[in-house]
Structure 1
């Protein structure tokens, strides 16, 4: 039986395609949501862009009929902008009828009374879902772009072989693989012996062949990997044929430092790329500092400070690391840019690092990855368990979505890092707190 889905504003601002994501059911956009979208359209960030996109799509749909009466959607469903059930008398007792969320609850109650269909509020707002539950209304999150974070692709697997097969791997510098276990492209494998527990090897799956690591002992811009996951990460970072790399790990696992070291190696030493572009979302942890004075570079400095810290560590042997970094920025070899200014650009022949990518929505990740031009490599790093975005979580953020979508592609590679290497204090905090 068809259902009625009432969309909250944050769902449409998170993903404008949500209008078409409910198959052959009735999709209701409350009039209050149209007002909220109108309030957001002047913003210059991703939310403002999505607000304008939703408005344009609804305006285009007017050609198909009156929105208040309902129009047919391409997927067989129906879309309607609902004006009814906004009377103050319909508002549940104790709730302020002037608040947009309460008007959505009022609408849901009215539709449930007059319709035999199941009425479901779809929202990314935890408190609205809680209030709906208290009032006996069905409410759920928007699931179309969610992945199961606990089952997220790790990029690494173990494989137990007979000692003869491991010996063949050593002697032949690799091993053809047509066994029952199917590996993803660029997936890493820890080979272990069934007969001898001390016998093992690290390799990577490329084209139905298990290859030994090419950069296992590499020292990249003064950084040497300290565990096997870091070795796997550098293997992907230093391989120009892997153009999209995703590194997931909790604080202190070295994902950002490794990516910066590889970028410096590729741009300054190997001249494989003409510029190293580093970007990260401008989303505060805790209270926002508000508008900052100064030039664009001065405004960006607080947001990019973690990048500066890592760069100063990489240039620690220089007389003045800060001057060296400023010189690279002045010459354009190194560029630190906010994601706000990435849209519309075409970026060829560059090494791109997007740090803290867990604070990006799937649409924002798409907007960034489609900027990649010919000969460019892009690296995403982040920790899905440390999200500052109000409407994202470990399962719905753009980084985990990207990992899951690209795991079968030859141009992409992924590694999840587990072991903290920053310090014993940092590892203790990440593990216990």
Structure 2
């Protein structure tokens, strides 16, 4: 590949915070990191926030790539090892650019802001490197707008880690089939698997099934959960809507078939990971907590309940709050305590019930920032509001789960508070797609708001 065919990608700081090893993801093309970006990473790496870890990883990755290079080689570019490049083909290069040394005549934007320094660098190199294509890569929407307004031809978001291009394409965990399912089946074999009935059929028009995906039809009677498919034959657990809707957990019954499917997955000990998505008020937290109490207090499947969630960036360090870790986390886990109140509001001694259940179920509130290094055994773990987590942060939690532990991840992709995440780059979206084909996981999109008619109207019209 000639130099003119190679693309020069200039990386913004937020790209390296989002994906610390991003320098290795541009295949045979060249990557440039402006000096301003290194300075911003240096300022971030010592902060007492989770993002500081990503900054340190990014700095180490750049150092590893440039460790043995001379100053001249760093300016010109050092070859990068890339796994996806064929043997003998051109390799991309990594370089550092001293953007503070730009000629004054090239300052298209005031240099008081770091973003402007990086944009000025991209504009200068766009002219200097012609006809080579120069691309500024940033996850900052406003910076992309400023760069285009200043005359930069190519500005892109970092999408290498995106598994889908539109959140509407995200797997919902179920297929809704037209007509009556059984009328479309030409051949069927039935067998028993414990208390479950397993059906193996010559598959009708069902495409792209995956393990533990639910199947519904228009008959209001059929519901199945996929075991596997070879393209011609489909195996599934025959659940039946009536049986699904009649199941209860800690006194909670499903209000619609989507909650019924979620309850089925939450109460199945063979499923280690349950992912619940859906709008506010669809019952994600209520169902998760009810199933947790049922399986800890009533059936004894698990020893304790651990509840964790990401804390807002303004309070990511919870040290300023008084009390123990559980007491510090209480303001951010009010949704859980509110749900406990709903589950026990009709008890004669409401306060007594709350204290009893908290102690009996051994409910522990933990900060996600202190989960690293732990090994969680025989627990029911609820990771709430995880639409605000990156894939790396969710991986931290998942890799803590040991034998006999069930993890429930819940979140609403329309309520992302992070400055650096969108619905398609959220860690919640990432795990839905990554774990789709894992036989130990199930995903259910809880369609419909059941909290109140006010919440339902707000979700639909605001």
Task: Identify whether the pair has TM-score above 0.5, normalized to the shorter chain.
Answer: yes
Matched, 1:142 2:158: yes
5+ residue gaps, structure 1: 193-197
The total of aligned residue pairs comes to 426
What secondary structure does 2:217 align onto?
strand
Relative to structure 1, the CA distance from residue 124 to residue 314 in structure 2 (aligned partners, 3 Å threshold; closer, same or farther) is same
Question: Bigger CA drift: 4-13 or 152-161?
Answer: 152-161
Equivalent residue runs for 1:27-426 within 5 Å? 27-66=31-70, 67-75=74-82, 76-84=91-99, 86-87=101-102, 89-90=104-105, 92-93=107-108, 95-115=109-129, 116-137=131-152, 138-146=154-162, 147=164, 148-159=166-177, 160=179, 161-163=181-183, 165=185, 173-179=197-203, 181-182=206-207, 183-192=209-218, 198=219, 200-207=221-228, 208-213=234-239, 215-283=244-312, 292-295=320-323, 296-322=325-351, 324-326=353-355, 333-426=362-455
Gaps of 5+ in 2: 83-90, 229-233
Change (3 A) 1:330 1:42: farther
State the structure with bigger RCO (CA 8 A, min sep 6), 1 or 2.
Answer: 1
The Cα shift of 1:84 comes to: 4.3
The CA distance in 2 between the partners of 1:50 and 1:288, in whole Å, is 15
2:231 paired residue number:
none
Taking structure 1 as reference, are residues 164 and 366 closer, same or farther at Cα in structure 2, changes over 3 Å only? Answer: closer
Query: Counterparts of 2:413 and 2:448 in 1: how far apart (Å)?
Result: 16
**Structure 2 CA distance for partners of 1:383 and 1:376, relative to 1, 3 Å:** same
- Which whole-Å CA distance do the structure 2 matches of 1:6 and 1:431 have between them? 41
Q: Provide the secondary structure at the position in 2 that maps to 1:206.
A: strand
Deviation at 1:337, TM superposition (A): 1.0
Distance across 1 between alignment mates of 2:183 and 2:361: 52
Helix, strand or coil at the partner of 1:257: helix
* Shift, 1:178, TM fit: 3.8
Give 3-state SS (helix, strand or coil) of 1:358's partner: helix
Q: Deviations over 1:22-55 (max 9, x none)?
A: 1111111111011000111112332011011112
Structure 2 residue aligned with 1:195: none
RMSD over aligned Cα atoms? 2.6
Partner SS for 1:371: coil
Q: How does 1:2-17 map to 2 (within 5 A)?
A: 2-17=6-21
Relative to structure 1, the CA distance from residue 153 to residue 349 in structure 2 (aligned partners, 3 Å threshold; closer, same or farther) is: same
Offset of 1:398 from its aligned partner? 0.4
User: Take 1:166 and 1:326, find their aligned partners in 2: how far apart are those partners?
Assistant: 56
Shift of 1:21: 1.2
Are the equivalent residues in 2 in contact too, given 1:156–1:415 (CA < 8 A)? yes
Instruction: Provide the secondary structure at the position in 2 that maps to 1:106.
Output: helix
CA deviation profile, 1:158-204 (whole Å, cap 9, x unmatched): 23435384997999955213425342100100134xxxxx5641111
- TM-score, length-normalised on structure 2? 0.86
